[in-house]
Structure formats: C-alpha cells, structure tokens
Amino acid sequence: MLRVKDLTCFRRDRALFEAVSFSLNTGDILQVCGSNGSGKTTLMRTLVGLYKNYTGCFDWDLPNPPLYLGHRPGINENLTPLENIKWVFELNNQHIETADMDEAIRQVGLAENAYTCCSDLSFGQKKRVALAPFCVGKNSLWIMDEPFSGIDGIGVTLIEKLFRKRSLWGGSIIFSSHQAIPSGLAVKKLELR
Amino acid sequence: MLGWFHRLGSPKMFFGMSQSWPKTFGLLSFLLLVLGTVWGLLFAPLDYQQGHSVRIMYVHVPAAAVAQSCYLFMAISGAVFLIWNIKLADWAAKSMAPIGASLAFLVLITGAIWGKPTWGTWWVWDARLTSTLVLLLLYLGIIALRNALEEKGNDGRPCAILALVGLVNLPIIKYSVDWWFTLHQPASFTLTEKPKMPPEMWIPLLIMAAGYYLFVFSVWTSRIRNEIVSRERKTAWARAWAGSP
Amino acid sequence: MTFFFRTIAREFLNYRRKPGLFLNPLIFCGLVVFLFVVGLGPDEAKLNQVASIFILVASLLSVLMSAESAFDQDYEEGSLELVVVSSNSLLMYSLAKSLAHWIVTFLPLILLVPFIGIGLFLDVGQIWVLCLGILLVSPTITLLASVGASMTIGLPRNGVLVGILVLPFYVPPLIFVTGLFEAALLKQNVLPYVYWLLALFFLALALAPSATSACLRIAAED
C-alpha cells in the first residue's frame, strides 16, 4: 500500500538521510528508529506531505487518507477532549457516533475528563486525547510521530493494544520511536542514520 | 530558453559569471554619475521659477524611479522563487531590499531638501512624498520579516508573498494618496510622453538615471555574490574560490 | 462547504471559551481612544472633529492584536498541521477563520461605537456614519490582518512584526473611509466612497485568502 523509493530528505542543503527505500503491506507495522536528529520526524512529515525538501519518490494506494499524529499533538486547549476528537473526524469528513466517541475517550482513560477543557489536562493526558481518534478511526494507515513520548506505562500498554488490534484488522502503521518496544509485536524496523 | 534560465539559477554558474560585474558596472556608473552631476549642477539651465534649487532634481527624480524599480525587481524575483523554487531568486530579492530601502530614504531626504526652498517647509504631506514614505515602510516591513525568518532558519517565501501583495497594493496606495494630496507639481519625466523640459535638462537627468541603475546593479551583484558565498561556503567550489582547504 | 461552517463553529467555540481573545483588543481600543482624548483635552469642538478617526484607527490597531493570536494558536498546538494534512481546502479554512475573526472583533466594536461616540460628542448622524464606515472598511482590514498574521506564524516577536507588515496596507482603506466621514459631514454624496470601499473589499476578498492559505501551508511545512 506504500512504496518508498530512494527517498532523501534535506535540511538546509544537508542530507538528513539518504536513499531510503521500503515498502509497506496491509497489516504491517513499521518502526522508524534512529538517534536524535536522524530525521525520523522529517520522514513522517514527508510521508504525509508536510515536508517538501526531498528527492526520490513514494506512492500510496489507500482507500482513505492516513491518520496522522504529529510532533505537536494538535489539541486545542480551549476545547474539551470530545470536541477535539470530533474535529479530527470532521477534518477527514468522517461521521462519528457519540457512542464511538465515548468509547474512544473511555479507552484512553479520560472518561472523567471528557467535559473539561484541554487546558486543564497534563501533557500526557493531551497526548492521550490525540490518541483517541485512533481507537475508533477507520483509516487504513496510521502515521504516528513518537507516540510513546510523554506517556506513562499504562498509556504504552494502551498503544500496544491498539497496534495489535489494528494489524489484526489489516490496517498498517508507521511510527517513529528511538526506544525498543517491550512487547512481542511483529514489527518491521527501519533504521535511519 | 529554460536551459538558460536554469543555468542562471545555479548559484555556482551565476557566481562565476558575475565575477567582474561589481567592478565593471561600478566604474561605469561612477563615470555616468560624475558626468550627470557635473552637467546637471553646473551647466544645465535654471528653472525660471525655482532657480538653483531645481538642480536637486538630478538626484531626487532618478532615485525615485530606481527605488520603485527595485521593488518591482524584488517582487518578480519573489514570484520566480515561489513558482520555480529557484533559491537564487530568493537571495536576489534579499540582496535588493536594503538597496531599495536606502534609495527610498534618499528620495525622502532630497525631497525634504527640495521642499525647503520651494514650499518653505521641510516636509509637506504631498502625494508623491507620502507614497514614497509608504514604499519605504513596505521595504522596512520586508526587511524586518526577512530578519525574523532567518532567525528561525526559514527561507524567504513569506517575503515573496509580501512583496507580491505589496506590488498589487502599490498602485492602489498611489492612487488613493493622490486623491488626497495634490500639492506637488505634475510628474517631471515619463517615458511615454515627450518631456516638456528642454533637452539640456532631461539629457543629464537621463544620464543620472542610467548611472543610478548601473550603481544599483553593481551594489546588488556584490551583495548577492556575498550571499552566495556565505550560503555555499561548505561546497567544494566555494572553498576552492576562497582558497581554503 | 460543510468544512467552512465547521471551522467557523470551532472558532466560535474557541472564542467563547477564551473571551479574552477578543475582549482584550476591545478594551485596548477603548484605552487608545481614551489616551487620545487625554492628550487632546476635553474641548468639545476639537474632539468632535477627530473622534471618528480616533475610534477607527484604534479599532484597526486592536484587530491586528487578535489576528496574530488567532493564527499562532493553531500553529503552536499543531492543529494547523492536521488541517494541511487533511484534504480540506486551506482557502476555505482561512476564509472561515477570517469571517469568524471579523464577527467576534467588529460586531462587538460596532455595538460599542455609540457609547464611545457619545463620550466624544458625536451626534446621532455621525455615529451612524461611523458605524457604516467601520462596517464597510472592517472586512478589508480583517482580511489584510489575516495575511500579515499568517505570514509571521511562529516567528520571534511576531506581535510587533504583524503591525510593521500590515499597517502600510491600511493606507488606502483609511483614506477612503475618512473621505466618507468628511463627505457625510459636508452633506455631500457618500456613494463614491462606499463604492471604493466595496471595491477594496472585493479585491481583498479575491486575493487575501489565497495569500493567507499559501502562508499557512509554508508555516506548516517549515
């Protein structure tokens, strides 16, 4: 569903990484690893079209646009978690049932905070809000930049559960992380240097 | 045509090509400016109303024309950068901004000096002085935006958009300002109409204008060459040129 | 089109939860007028002559302040990225943001104008003209402010920068709206000025959203 060929990304004329090629099939989970400054975030941003300074090519074959979790989680401080989740679905022109939203909120463990403004939430809790659309979304590809950063142990287990469920459904995931994932997920690895 | 365009867009090619430009055009402009100044200040006839004070026209009017041309140049380079993503065009616009700003400033200063004997005050809110003031403000805005962008390490695309928005607005600003202030004498020199001045007056004016254009070009080439070297300092050819290993 | 209205709804919600976003500029506007009055002295005839312009210029300045925060917030929290990634039109997004911004800044201001106007000894007719002038000029002002604000997203000290970039472009609208005030005062035909202000508005409407969306894309992609 995704083929990347000889992708080289530049930052101020310097190549961050060179000639990266890989492909992703339905149900694959790909972990992009590498040290700080190796271009993990840039690769993610390039794939979703937020970064243009690259050579090489990549092409998609997707029934719907990918769901993206960026470096900044995209949570509006003045809206409640529910309103934020709804906005993410509205952006993708998808309808979401109230029951599904409640379910998502419950899964990320924020049921009690569903109606408080996100400005009252901690960074980790905001990150969980940003993860909530992934619990119920129907997108066939997820692109997640550092999903594990700023998240506690329960949160990490939650994401792993999500990943497992997702790949069983036949969805694919690309995520970046510099740390090893503890559980036994079948994860392909792409090392940037 | 496109091949030529791309060759010109390569910093290395441009750098090699423009090696002698600052000096050659600087010398040429110096000769023209000296000729025009001597002719204009010593030999050109006096205005029957304004007397000797009309002679500042030879500094003021070409500067005004060139200040506007610089803006046009900047906007066009900006458009080239936005459309074809040629970095050199961005640097070209960047190198031109301070030159245009200083020329606009020169217009205001000489305008004020001209105003003192003519209108009796240093400053009049007259249409063309006011539009030049706005032009200077636009230049300052673009320079300020450029500084902020570079501080963050971004390229000049927002600057290019600002220059284009300014280009659309300049005629509107000029018209709206004209609407209000109509104190100034009508435009003294246009390309389309036959000038009403005697040739002894407009020939030195033309020489001064040519001198100004060449001066701007020579300063601009030396600025953009500086820019190229500092941006490309890590490349092999720039190191070789600078004689460092 | 639904995206357009959803964006507006989201903006309204945002402003409702943080009223300071649009109330502070209003208070600022009132204060600027107040300072002008203090500087000029309480002379009725003098104040009456310049009151309209004071109120207008103060409102222009205050709008710039709120425009800057409206776009910067999106960038800082990362929702701008989500909008760019989604296949929605950025043009619609910037239009919707400008419309919402215009509604929350200028409608309260127009409601406030009669009160300020009475304090500056304007008569009823002048207050009507002032409201009309603000109504005609404000959409152009908001659109221009959105271009400036989107241009400086995420830049250091961008609050002042927006002012430097945008204020020169306020010259034509300001000139025509003061023309409108003067024509009304002298009982002349105000229609030419109305047409001019409308023309400026349509020009801004045609060009500003594309410039804004281009700047938003650049900001998200940097």
Give ipTM to 2 decimals. Answer: 0.90
CA C124 to chain centre: 24
Share of chain B above pLDDT 90, in %: 53
Name the phi and psi angles at A190, rounded to 5: -125, 115
The set of residues, in sequence order, having a beta carbon less than 8 Å from that of C26 and lying 6+ positions away, is C62, C105, C108, C109, C112
Tell me, yes or no, if B176 comes closer than 8 A to chain C by beta carbon: yes
Task: Output the pLDDT for position C166.
Answer: 94
User: Whole domain around residue C82: which residue ranges?
Assistant: 2-221
Q: C184 is written with which tokens? A: 């009304």
Q: What is the pLDDT of residues C84-132, one digit of tens each?
A: 988 889 999 999 999 999 999 999 999 989 999 998 889 999 999 999 9
- For an interface test with C, the pick among A60, A85, A87 (most C C-beta atoms closer than 10 Å) comes out as A87
CB contact under 8 A, C175 and B179: yes
CB pairs under 8 A between A and C: 68
Residue B232 has pLDDT above 50, yes or no: yes
Going by C-alpha positions, the residue among B74, B38, B73 that lies closest to residue B58 is B38
A54, A155 contact by CB (below 8 A): no
Share of chain C above pLDDT 90, in %: 63
Task: Output the pLDDT for position B190.
Answer: 45
CA C92 to chain centre: 19
Residue of C nearest to A126 (CA): C77
For residue A50, give the nearest of C2, C17, C84 by CB distance: C84
Mean pLDDT of B30-47: 88
Task: Output the pLDDT for position B2.
Answer: 58
Own/partner contacts of A154-157, CB < 8 Å, gap of 24 or more, are: A154/A109, A155/A108, A155/A109, A155/A124, A155/A127, A155/A128, A155/A131, A156/A182
Alpha-carbon span A15 to C15, nearest angstrom: 42
Element (H, E) at A184: none
For residues B243 and C34, the model is more confident at C34
Q: What is the pLDDT of residues C15-29, one digit of tens each?
A: 999 898 889 989 999
Residue A180 has pLDDT above 90, yes or no: no
Q: What is the pLDDT of residues B99-156, one digit of tens each?
A: 999 999 999 999 888 888 887 888 877 788 888 999 999 999 999 999 999 998 888 9
**Strand runs (DSSP E) across B102-219, as ranges?**
none
Mean pLDDT of C182-198: 91
Residue B185 has pLDDT above 70, yes or no: no
Task: Output the pLDDT for position A179.
Answer: 74
Q: Is B55 exposed, middle or buried (0-12, 13-18, 19+ CB in 10 A)?
A: buried
Per-residue burial over C116-135, b if 16 or more Cβ lie within 10 Å, else e, is bbeebbbeeebbebbbbbbe
Number of domains in chain C: 1
Residue A184 has pLDDT above 80, yes or no: no
Q: What is the pLDDT of residues A115-167, one digit of tens each?
A: 999 989 988 889 899 999 888 877 888 999 988 888 888 888 888 888 888 88
Distance from CA of B81 to the nearest CA of C (A): 13
Distance from CA of C71 to the nearest CA of B (A): 15
CB contact under 8 A, C172 and B176: yes
Q: What is the pLDDT of residues C66-79, one digit of tens each?
A: 888 888 989 999 89
For residue C17, give the nearest of A52, A74, A117 by CB distance: A117
Q: What is the pLDDT of residues B6-22, one digit of tens each?
A: 666 788 888 988 889 99
CB contact under 8 A, C156 and B145: no
Task: Output the pLDDT for position B6.
Answer: 65
Alpha-carbon span A59 to B131, nearest angstrom: 51
- The pTM score is 0.90
CB pairs under 8 A between B and C: 76
